[in-house]
Amino acid sequence: MCRACNLKDLQSFSLTDRHWGFERLQRLRDGVDKLLNPAEVKKSYLDVAGRVDRLYRALGVDERKNELSSDWGVLTDLARGIRGLQQPVDISKIMDAVERLLDESIDAQGYAIREPTEAPYGGRVHLGGIDFAALARYFAMTKHKASAAEAAAVSARQRVDTLVRLNPTRGNLRAQLEELIAEYNDGARNAEQFFKDLLAFMKNKVEPEEQRSSAEALSQEALALHDLLLPPELKLDTKAHEVVKKLARELPKKVAPKLVIDWRKSQRARAAVKVTIKRALEVLPQETYSDEMYDKLVEAVYEHVYESYWGDGKSKYTDAPGI
């Protein structure tokens, strides 16, 4: 059932033991790493471990369950390790340790990695503001590559979801990431290639998008409106582009007075918001924006406002994480 490890070899290393030996932790980490990919193996294992856990707990105080405790402990420890990779933490706290490990791990015999104790089951990483070169070297040296790849995928998805939540035009980023992850889960890429491609995606696609707000001199809030008002197929000269950027900056202020408490529940309030949007968009250059495009943009901006602003000064941007 468990292709990751031999259950008999592991059962003496249950979490119920008083002494947590290095060998036990190492075997658990090895087991977790081998159960992560393909995705069907991970899902199947978690299903089995979940059923075993429920059955074991259903035995209640029956003393006969004691002889099963070691096996139950190993199975649940492995499942806990797999699920733990889905809770990324900020890598900034361990990057110094990683760098020291990299510096200290080269000897006359080649590479010998001692993985940081701050990172359970091979390391959970947050890919925002990461040192890609150091992480790539770390990945090359760790033997728990599937664990590192799994954690990186979870963290990348979290980062991209934040970008998409703030700006609906970024949906293509999510689609590209999901395609990359799907190919890895289907076996089209091994862990090494997936990790390499994922870091390239983060560095070449996600990081530039995170920095575009500064490059355009627009807040994330204004950038979302800017991108809605400037479809990819539309080409503007510098003067027309400045009109769009100015509109993107001013539109939230113009709409704000109409966004009363529970405005989405009132037909009159919703109509007032749409009228405000229509009037604001009238400044778009008529030589570039046809009547049909103008109508589509009014609907797109209204839908964005409806989904993003809750009234009384509250919106997805008021508590958005800094990116």
Position 21 confidence tier, pLDDT thresholds 50, 70, 90: low
138-177 pLDDT per residue, tens: 777 777 788 778 878 888 888 899 999 999 999 999 999 9
263-300 tens-digit pLDDT? 999 999 999 999 999 999 999 999 999 999 999 999 99
Tell whether the model's pLDDT for residue 27 goes beyond 70.
yes
The token duo for 310 is 């809750």
Using CA atoms, how far residue 119 sits from 114, 258, 292, in Å, is 12, 48, 54
Q: What's the mean pLDDT when you consider all of the chain?
A: 78
Note the pLDDT tens digit of each residue in 6-19. 444 444 444 444 44
Q: Where are the domains of the chain?
A: 7-84, 92-215, 220-315
- pLDDT tens sequence across 84-110: 766 654 444 444 444 444 444 433 333
> Residue 99: left if φ>0, alpha if ψ -120 to 50, beta else—which one?
alpha
Residue reference for tokens 């890429």: 189
Q: How confident is the model at residue 22 (pLDDT cuts 50, 70, 90)?
A: low
Give the chain's largest Cα–Cα span: 83
Q: Is there a contact between 48 and 1 (Cβ–Cβ < 8 Å)?
A: yes
pLDDT at 321: 58
Cα 323 from Cα 310, distance rounded (Å): 22
pLDDT at 30: 76
What is the distance between the alpha carbons of residues 196 and 176, in angstroms, rounded to a whole number? Answer: 15
pLDDT of residue 66 exceeding 80: no
Lowest mean pLDDT among 2-6, 164-168, 230-234, 253-257: 2-6
Q: Distance between the two ends of the chain, CA-based, in angstroms? A: 43
Own/partner contacts of 190-195, CB < 8 Å, gap of 24 or more, are 191/37, 191/145, 191/146, 191/148, 191/149, 192/139, 192/145, 194/149, 194/153, 195/136, 195/139, 195/145, 195/148, 195/149, 195/152
Whole-number pLDDT of residue 102: 44
Q: For the whole model, what pTM was predicted? A: 0.66
pLDDT above 90: residue 225: yes
Pairwise CA distance, residues 230 & 247, whole Å: 11
Higher-confidence residue: 124 or 73?
Answer: 73
Query: Of 65, 35, 39, 37, whose CA–CA distance to 53 is shortest?
Result: 65
